Amino acid sequence: MPASHRPRKRFGQHFLVDRSIIDAILASLTLQPADNVVEIGPGLGALTQPLLGVLPHLTVVEIDRDIVARLARAYPPERLTIRQGDALEVDFAGLGSDLRLVGNLPYNISTPLLFHLLEFLPHIRDMTFMLQKEVVARMVARPSTPDYGRLSVMLQRHCHLFWLLDVPPDAFDPPPKVDSAVVRLVPRQDKAQLDEGRFARLVAAAFGQRRKVLRNTLGGLVPASAFAALAIDPGLRAENLAVAQFEALAAYTAAQH
């Protein structure tokens, strides 16, 4: 597709143009023709075109009406299904099963979009995304490090995460003011069964006031007996707890009700 589209700041548009990065992403996917692939934010088709070189059919989600019109002109509907709209509002369960999601995600909505996608993990095989490098660092961060937070805990509970490659600003047009990275998320099949709402509330409360200790942030959700029973020091901060410890707290408090 010709690149005569003016990038729109309100959509956070930075179009991938570096062929070597595109090739590296495609190689990492090891696509099969039968794969059910959904591309989020296809933009000017940097990934769309090579994806369709392997796949007989591709679904894309795009909010920009001008890009939707360009895509519709470039590809027949039997090759490309276009879902126009905000990815934050898409029901991904309606796009089928065993989904493989790919995309250069708009950096201004990347975190809420990742949380939105957690709702559809039973329908997803894997997700391979270009994101702001500092977001990827937060996603894969380990406990007791500066980047470790709510995003780390929530994603690591639900997915295995793999940092695939770094991407410099000059790989895009226009270049963003930040470095980027490609990460893969693979839904976990081995996670403990929990009340997910309880777990999410507990993690959100613990990180809601990062500098406060657990006995203060979780006082209304976790009885003192839980810390003692689980050998968790209530004088620690949220950033010091591993995912398994948050899971244990959620399971313990559920058992008390």
Domain at 200, CATH number: 1.10.8.100
Average pLDDT over every residue of 166-187:
94
Q: What is the CATH number of the domain that holds 54?
A: 3.40.50.150
Q: Which of 187, 215, 244 is the last residue of a domain?
A: 187
The 10s digit of each residue's pLDDT in 100-123 is 999 998 888 999 999 999 999 999
Cβ-Cβ contacts under 8 Å for 4 (sequence gap 6 or more): none
Q: Which residues pair with 84 in a beta bridge?
A: 62
> What is the residue type of 177?
K
Cβ count near 187 (within 10 Å) = 18
Q: Whole-number mean pLDDT of the chain?
A: 93
Range of the domain at 248: 196-255
Per residue in 206-218, pLDDT tens? 999 989 999 999 9
Alpha helices in the chain (DSSP H): 19-29, 48-51, 65-74, 110-118, 133-140, 150-158, 196-208, 214-217, 224-229, 243-255
Residue-wise pLDDT tens digits, 185-194: 999 999 989 9
pLDDT tens-digit series, residues 43-58: 889 999 999 999 999 9
| pLDDT recorded at residue 44 | 87
Of 157, 187, 217, at which residue does a domain stop?
187
Query: What pLDDT does residue 77 have?
Result: 96
Could you give the number of structural domains in the chain?
A: 2
In this structure, the answer to whether residues 114 and 240 fall within a common structural domain is: no
Structural tokens at position 143: 């406990």
Q: Classify 210 as helix, strand or coil.
A: coil
The domain boundary residue, chosen from 163, 187, 211: 187
- pLDDT bucket at 181, cuts 50 / 70 / 90: very high
pTM: 0.92
Are residues 234 and 145 located together in one domain of the fold? no
The answer to whether residue 213 sits within a structural domain is: yes
Q: How confident is the model at residue 7 (pLDDT cuts 50, 70, 90)?
A: very low
Distance (Å, whole) CA 197 – CA 205:
12
In a domain, 168, yes or no: yes
For residue 153, is it left (φ>0), alpha (ψ between -120 and 50) or beta?
A: alpha
Neighbour count for residue 233 (Cβ, 10 Å) = 12
95 and 41 within one domain: yes
Q: Is the pLDDT of residue 9 over 50?
A: no
Q: Can you give the pLDDT at residue 173?
A: 86
Q: Are residues 30 and 69 in the same domain?
A: yes
Are 160 and 39 contained in the same domain?
yes
In a domain, 4, yes or no: no
Asked if the structure places residue 225 within a domain, the reply is: yes
Q: Does one domain contain both 170 and 222?
A: no
pLDDT value at residue 13: 57
**Residue range 201-255, pLDDT digits in tens:** 999 999 999 899 999 999 989 999 999 999 999 999 999 999 999 999 999 999 8
Residues 6+ apart with CB under 8 A from 204: 150
